[in-house]
Every structure is written in structure tokens, then in C-alpha cells.
Chains A and B, each alone.
Chain A
């Protein structure tokens, strides 16, 4: 079929939280089994160099919903009245909107990320929402300490190591309170979200109207609870491991706390969880196909970020997103797009960013040139005029080679990075000490002072000594800092980064 916007009625966005790009078969991982996503990739367009810009979870959702970069403006914070989201734009147009999710940050009190969705189905209990189930009685046979390594929790004298130990046991305890009722992987969170999605697709939606469906699955974010953990069987990706299953690890650097072997096992459990997520996402992809929706529906499958799980390319020494560090394993994301009439099986190497996904959705829905206005009843209506992304349609249709020569990433108020074909560069907005202590949402409270965007007469470029430069062709996972060897390249990239982010601040 040829590409024809008027024939495309629906858009499905499937967001899978914390799915690292290089943990999919279609992205070259030879170990992990992801047959459904691999099949989808063979039939759609795979983007090899998609990068999230502002991290973590909440800024990514905001960038995708508004089509605007967040790094110049704000980090972990609610949607505001000044933000215009896809659903705001869809108000007053014939598109039904639905959000089916278990990604708890989107449901934080007063954050408003479900704004504008006609149908909202939130599945409670994951991560930040674990306190919802804190008072449920727990099966006495299930003890939190059996679901993590004792050495991550207690020191040699049997005392809790620190507050992170206590928090770890609490988190595991809350998760167990829900999972004590788990009988099979059909009770997993991803299964719940996909089953509810299936219900909406098959029964609940109005089949006479176009739809915009957003499915936000928190899985495969930790806890690392794939089937083997509950069944007491060896993890298929690491069957020789001896020790407790590792449902969760503390929010800390790994040194002195988590062994290499434990990190390796966490990564194996993560792979097993991804295989399970792949299976359940496959059900929805199959459902769309079975209902004849693939020829009239744009489908996006992507993630918001990866996951630090150890040393080197696995996490630069941290476990979980315990520090605001924008390295490759975190910021490089998988992105697959099916658009009816666009040739499947393509692999595109151009850099693309979150906001481009939004621009593409607007383009496909023929809403790219819309402006804010006022309805005939005097009510405000909204358009895409403030969006900052580039539609990927020309790229996907072979009319352009690239939309971006580089990508940016970072944690608002804490770190910025720029990624080009030749180099990647990390610029710290805080001191060496602070970046090694801060948690990943601390930057949210930082005011970007006007000093950041201005120069005084005679001032020279100040390059923080702890900034980092990497040769992206030979060292994509950023293990060997060459800033000292190539200071002129570092300085050039810093200037460029400031210009780019400053530019985004002015549009």
C-alpha cells in the first residue's frame, strides 16, 4: 500500500519503561530472546540512534507528550498549564484518547500526566506507588531478606549497613505484598497492563471513531521479578547462580556493596524479565493485526531509558538510576515505528530524539501545522505550533538522510551531554563531589539562573575539569575519557552544547 495520511486513523504508543536498547535481539543482542519485538522490527522501521534527552521517567513523558525539549526548561516536575500536550491538541477533534498504564510516576499526586485522556486505567503498586499496599498482611513464608543478597543489606556484624538497606527491605516487602497473590506470569504487571489494553481494543473503545492509545508499561523496570524468581527455578540466562534471587538491589554505587557476580545475575534476571515483557507486548501486536488495525494504525514501541547495572558499560559503577549520570547505557533507547504505507524492515541510523516521535505523530495525524485558537463557543483550543521536534516521515520514506547531526541528553540541573557520530561529551552542571552524591531527581529543584545564559564582558569559556570526552566510534559506552588529550574538541563540543540548549531555550 502507498502512504496516505487520510487512511491512517489511529496511533498506538507503547512505552516500555527501562528497556535498554542493547537488550533486544533486533538491536544485536545475541543472548536475550525477544521474538515478538524482533518480528515487529522486521516489519517496521528501527531507529539505531534514538536518544532520550531529559532523564529520567517524567521528563521523557513530558517531552513525548508536548513535543518540546525539557533540558532547557525543567526536570522532574508536573505538567503545567503552559505545557500543551498531544491530548490538549486532540480536544475538539474526532479522536478518542486512552491511557492504560502502571508507570507510577505518571500518577504522582498533582503531576497530571493523565491529562486529556478520555479513558484512563491505572494499575497501582509499582515503585513509587508501593505504599498503596504497605498495610496488606504478608504471607509469613515470604520474607524480604530471602529476595535479595544478605551482603547488600547487613554488614559482617549483622547490622543494617545504612538507610539504603532499610529502604531496600521495605521496597521488597511492599512488592511481595502484591506478588504473594501471583500464580503465573499472567499476574505480572506487564500482563495486567496488556490484558487491560486488549480489553480496551476489543471491547471498550468506540470502534466507529479514530483513537490515540498510550500504553505505558513500567516493566521491565525493576523489581527484577521474572518467572524464575517466583517459581524457584534457575534463571534461564544464568542457571548456575548460587544465592538468593535478587528482586531488588539498593540505590547505591556497586563498590563495596554489590559484587560483580551479583551484578551479572541482576542483568540475567533483567533479560528474563525482558523476554516476558516481549511475550505480552507481542499479544497486543498480534491483537492489532488480528483486528485488521495494522493497515490503519501507526504503532510506536519505545523505551524511555536503559538501566545502570554494574561496572563499565553496564552502569559505570552504579546500580539503578542512583546518580544523575547520562551515559550511553541509560540514554540510548530502542525505537520502532510502524506507519501504514511506509516500507517495513528499514534500519535508520540518523540521530533522533523523543520530540521527533511527537512531531511524527502530529504529521501522520495531519495536525503538524495547527495553531492555538478559540472555538466558536469561546473555549481555548490548541495546536502543535510550539513543538520543537522534526517529523521522521521524510526520513522513513527515503526523502531525507538525517534529521539531526547530533543528539543531546542529560539530567536537568545536573548534567548535559552531546552525542555525535565521532564523539560524545558529558558536561557537568554541578561539582565533581555533587554529581557523585546526588540522586537522580535532585536537579528538579535547581533554578537555571540567568548567569547560565549570559556572558560578562571579557569572560572566557569555563570548562569544568571533570567534564568528559569520548571517541564514539571506538568507545560508544564511554569508558575511556580523552578530554585531557583532546581539549580543543572538548571545548568545541561544550560551546556547541551551550548553543544548542540555549537555542532550544529561545524557541
Chain B
């Protein structure tokens, strides 16, 4: 369900995305797995929102630029730009409100 991005293609994809959500994860991070489930539920209810993921340990440039050192960090993309960032966990209701407010 997630399109995985890298330092190489992130900027391009960002500029081309009208509406999206990115999760910055660490492979061993249990919280990331829980947050992925929340995003999957969100995507199911919002099919127009593109869903991306980035491995924070393998993509230091983007992580630094977006200040996404902590995992999970959720980035909201609106109209080709970063609209909001949040580290930590949210439940589906909170994710919905976070996206709407971004």
C-alpha cells in the first residue's frame, strides 16, 4: 500500500503530489508498524491521498531536511509542498483531524 521513496526521488515526487502522507520509519521500530496500520485505514477512507514511506536510516538527506529524525514521523503533503509534520502516534480520529488541519 505504501510507495517507498528515497533521497533520490523524494523532491520530484513531492512536487508532483497534490495530496499525500509520508511515514518515516525505522525497520525495527514497533511504533512504526502500528502507525502504518493507522495510515492504511486512513488511506482506505481517503483514496485520493497518496501514501508513501521512507526508511529514515537509509535516507539521511531527506530526514535532515524535513527534521524527521524521530520514527515514526508523519508528513502531510498538500499541493506539492510539506504542509505539516508530527512525530509519534495517532489514532484514526486524530490522524483524520491532523490531515484536515494541515
Interface residues of A (CB under 8 A from B): 82, 386, 450-458, 495, 498-499, 502-503, 505-507
CA distance A82 to B37 in the complex (A): 22
CA distance A487 to B87 in the complex (A): 30
Q: Which stretch from B1-9, B43-51, B67-75 is at the chain A interface? A: B67-75
The answer to whether B30 and A499 have CB atoms under 8 Å apart is yes
Contacts of B79 in A (CB 8 A): none
CA distance A82 to B94 in the complex (A): 11
The 8 Å CB contact of B88, one of A450, A457, A503, A507, is: A450
Chain A minimum-CB-distance residue to B60: A457
Contacts of A82 in B (CB 8 A): 93
Q: Say yes or no: is B83 at the interface (Cβ < 8 Å to chain A).
A: no
User: How distant is A499 from chain B, measured CB to nearest CB, in Å?
Assistant: 4
Instruction: List 3 tightest A-B contacts by C-beta distance, closest first.
Output: A450-B88, A454-B70, A499-B30
Interface residue count for B (Cβ, 8 Å)? 25
With A450-B87, A502-B31, A505-B91 as contacts: A457 and B69 at CB distance below 8 Å: yes
CA distance A452 to B72 in the complex (A): 11
Contacts of A458 in B (CB 8 A): 57
Contacts of A451 in B (CB 8 A): 70
Contacts of B88 in A (CB 8 A): 450, 452-454
The 8 Å CB contact of B69, one of A456, A495, A502, is: A456
With A457-B69, A495-B30 as contacts: A507 and B57 at CB distance below 8 Å: no
The answer to whether B31 and A455 have CB atoms under 8 Å apart is yes
Q: Say yes or no: is B78 at the interface (Cβ < 8 Å to chain A).
A: no
Contacts of A452 in B (CB 8 A): 88
Q: What is the count of residue pairs linking A and B with beta-carbon distances less than 8 angstroms?
A: 60
Interface residues of B (CB under 8 A from A): 26, 28-31, 34-35, 37-38, 56-57, 63, 69-73, 86-93
The 8 Å CB contact of A454, one of B37, B63, B71, B91, is: B71
The answer to whether B92 and A455 have CB atoms under 8 Å apart is no
The answer to whether B91 and A457 have CB atoms under 8 Å apart is no
User: How distant is A427 from chain B, measured CB to nearest CB, in Å?
Assistant: 14
The 8 Å CB contact of A507, one of B28, B29, B87, B92, is: B92
Contacts of A499 in B (CB 8 A): 30-31, 34
Contacts of B90 in A (CB 8 A): 506
A456, A458, A495, most chain B CB atoms within 10 A: A456
Chain B minimum-CB-distance residue to A449: B88
Contacts of A503 in B (CB 8 A): 34
The answer to whether B91 and A453 have CB atoms under 8 Å apart is no
Chain B minimum-CB-distance residue to A496: B30
A-B contact pairs, 10 of them (CB 8 A): A82-B93, A386-B93, A454-B70, A454-B72, A455-B26, A455-B31, A456-B69, A457-B56, A498-B30, A506-B90
Contacts of B30 in A (CB 8 A): 495, 498-499, 502
CA distance A498 to B69 in the complex (A): 20
Instruction: Taking A456-B69, A457-B26, A499-B31 as given, write out 20 further A-B residue pairs in contact, using a Cβ cutoff of 8 Å, ordered by the A residue number.
Output: A450-B86, A450-B87, A452-B88, A453-B31, A453-B88, A454-B29, A454-B31, A454-B72, A454-B73, A454-B88, A455-B26, A455-B31, A457-B57, A457-B69, A457-B71, A458-B57, A505-B91, A506-B35, A506-B89, A506-B90
Contacts of A455 in B (CB 8 A): 26, 28-29, 31, 70-71
The answer to whether A505 and B34 have CB atoms under 8 Å apart is yes
User: How distant is A400 from chain B, measured CB to nearest CB, in Å?
Assistant: 24
Chain B minimum-CB-distance residue to A450: B88
